[in-house]
Structure 1
Amino acid sequence: MHKSIIIANWKLNPGTASEARLLFSAVKKGVAGIRNAEVVVCPPFVYLPALSEIRRAASLGAQDCFWEDKGAYTGEVSSSMLKEFGVTHVIVGHSERRNWLGETDEMIARKIKAVLKEKLMPVLCVGERERDSSGDIPVVVEEQICAALSGLKKGEFKNGIIAYEPVWAIGTGRPDTPDDAARAAIFIRKIVKKVLG
């Protein structure tokens, strides 16, 4: 049986470090009795130092990273910097970054390689913007996975996570169904096996 992974992406919340510490403490208390599940909290970058000092029951994740270790990349954070603060997971390819910041499949592939280089766990987000009228998982999801994992060798992504995030279901009042999510999981496993063997 696979262990469940619960990832809480805080996005641009909360507003202060003290609020972040309070929220993180509440999350830790709330998940203390959960068995066979790993909880990963992904706060804004600025709260990582404060939360790295109090993490125990929950793992610490990052909402993104850059593909280079250092250099003239204003505003970016490397996976080696994240690792220093106890980050174990890094979200890559989130739909908001794809849509609003113009992240490309090539950029996402480079980020995954950087995360893996530091022995961190990439959380690759994939999903379609529009629901397929037949209910099938569109080819765009396959394209996103193939592009993101391109250049990886067999076994390199063995600890990676692929998070299916159908953009059409976010905040629309039309949630994805458990059956559709299960079909998406089967589809994604087939694609990963095809790409990485």
Structure 2
Amino acid sequence: MKYLNESLMWHIASQVTELKKLVVLNKDVLVGLRSNYDKPEQMKELFRRLQRPKISQNVDSVLQRMSIIGVIICFRSLAQDALNDCLSERIPFLLSSIVDFKHHVMNGDSMLENIKLQIVSEMASATGLPCKVDPALVSALRSQKCELGEDEYQMACLLMVFIAVSLPKLARNESSYYKPSLEA
């Protein structure tokens, strides 16, 4: 299960790297979209710049990569649920001890408390318990080198802007639909 988890997180990290490259390619338009969110006319003009035929492929690529990330995370969630069900049948006492560890670990500001939280989160994740912050994904993303030399905060903000302006295209797609029973 650990190898599967690491492999899936590696795939997500590689998709994130490609998303960062798309953000860098469209940085000037995305910065304009981010700073003019309260000006509808400028937003329309900037979004039209993203819709140009050559750049429109970037919008499709962002949607496709985010869909791939979503599918991987859903698959991983199903695998972890199955693992948790199996462990709760076979070793319920050990699993309840791990749940107790998870519920009683302090989330603080000190370095020691953060290390404790990280260790307990890794242990909980290894047994299929959900965590607020996925330790495998954190380590996969942390292992990526920032080759682009960009500010990570700004890159994350621009990626959210790119996704936000791309979502209406996904919503208008006839093959896209929402099933409330599946929450997807």
In terms of fraction of residues, the more strand-rich structure is 1
TM norm structure 1: 0.21
Which structure has the larger Rg over C-alpha atoms? Answer: 2
In terms of fraction of residues, the more helix-rich structure is 2
Point out which structure has higher relative CO (alpha carbons under 8 A, 6+ apart): 2
TM norm structure 2: 0.22
